Amino acid sequence: MTIIVDGKINIRILKLEEIKSALEKMGEQLFRGEQIFEWLWKKNAQSFEEMTNLSKSLRDKLNMSYFIDNIELKDQQISLDKTIKCAFKINGGEIIEGVLIPTKSRTTACISSQAGCSLACKFCATGRLKLIRNLSPGEIFDQVVYLKNEAEKIYNKTLNNIVYMGMGEPLLNYKNMLRSIELICSKDGLGMSPKRITVSTAGIAKMIKKLGDDLVKFNLALSLHAANDKKRSLIMEINNSNNLNSLRESLKYFYEKTKSRITFEYIIFKNFNDTIEDAEELAKFARCVPCKINIIEYNSIDEGNFKQADSKKVDDFANYLKQKNMIVNIRRSRGKDIDAACGQLANKNKV
């Protein structure tokens, strides 16, 4: 996260009381803090010059000491199915991604928490970028604002859901991820309910337990993709240090603390994890906590080794789970005609 640039502090890392303290040292009235905070989060100001209810002298003082870490649209693609994929440039020139997914029943923003990723999952284009840095709360927040505005402008739809399923591992940017959700849910921000937010993790057991200790109100999803250790470790290196047994225990702990149902995300790959035996293993593992299962069709990446499973196998897989009284949804592949897989657009817009 970029905190200081050219000697200036990123003002959006400051909480309201910290802004008021800075104003007091400037000899300014404290109520100006609320005005600045509103401009930063409710009005999404891109510069101090936009803060027209502040005096010019105060705006000059702010410009001398602080900067606003806004994101900038670099590229945008719109699919035939109306999915919108955006590449955003952040401070320092790195590229991150955000996706708007409209359906008949809901409109979802899929956002990134890091530039790049350190986990290098074999099926994910983001893993090829490596981890560059954590995103700030403001950089995460801005993705939601932009996609929310696009939903309203292009489709006349309200943003219903937010999923932290874009680039990066949210639990490895824990503090900034929590702060961004606090701002999204705050009356001073977007005022969304935390129950409309889902944070997806590749599976870091100690951090899942920390979510439970922090009594978070948002939803948790685990990117599982295989329910035996040997197969999961082949595609997700994180499983070597966070195996299924440790994840099972952490999920139980999280549920005991929060009473929040877990979502298991399962990308289904052709001739890898698409058999009834795989479904049986998934059903057995998923019974550890109250849950639902999202079976996800795979969006292939360039030069990747994995392919989308046959439609009949996907249906048979889901039907087996339903027969075991599991709650199952099939998430059909979206944005097939654009760079839909996570990390593809960022790879093509490297600077």
Distance CA(251)–CA(233), nearest Å, equals 19
Which is catalytic among the residues 110, 117, 291, 342? 342
HSE-CB of 121 using CA atoms within 13 angstroms: 27
Residues 51 and 84 grouped into a single domain:
no
The β-bridge partners of 161 are 108
Task: Note down the domain range covering 147.
Answer: 72-348
Closest CA to 276 of 307, 309, 319, 223: 319
**Pair 113, 169: CB distance under 8 Å:** yes
* Residue 265 annotated as catalytic: no
Residue 224 sits in the same domain as residue 276: yes
Residues 248 and 303 in one domain: yes
Q: Which CATH number covers residue 24?
A: 1.10.150.530
Among 253, 188, 247, 191, which Cα is nearest to 223's?
247
Cβ atoms of residues 167 and 111 within 8 Å:
no
pLDDT along the chain (351 residues), means of 10: 85 96 96 97 96 97 96 95 95 94 95 95 85 96 98 97 97 98 96 98 98 98 97 97 98 98 97 97 98 92 80 96 96 70 52 43
**Reported pTM:** 0.93
Torsion angle (degrees, nearest 10) of CA 99, 309, 200, 281? 170
Say what the pLDDT of residue 351 is: 43
Give first-to-last CA distance, the chain, whole Å: 18
**Whether 97 is catalytic:** yes
What does the pLDDT read at residue 293? 98
- For residue 316, give the CATH number of its domain: 3.20.20.70
Domain shared by 23 and 146, yes or no: no
Where is the domain boundary, 67, 90, 121? 67
Q: Exactly one of 28, 86, 94, 97 is catalytic; which is it?
A: 97
- Note whether 242 and 264 are same-domain residues: yes
Under the phi-then-psi rule, with left for phi > 0, alpha for psi from -120 to 50, and beta for the rest, what region is 161? Answer: beta
- Do 205 and 293 share a structural domain? yes
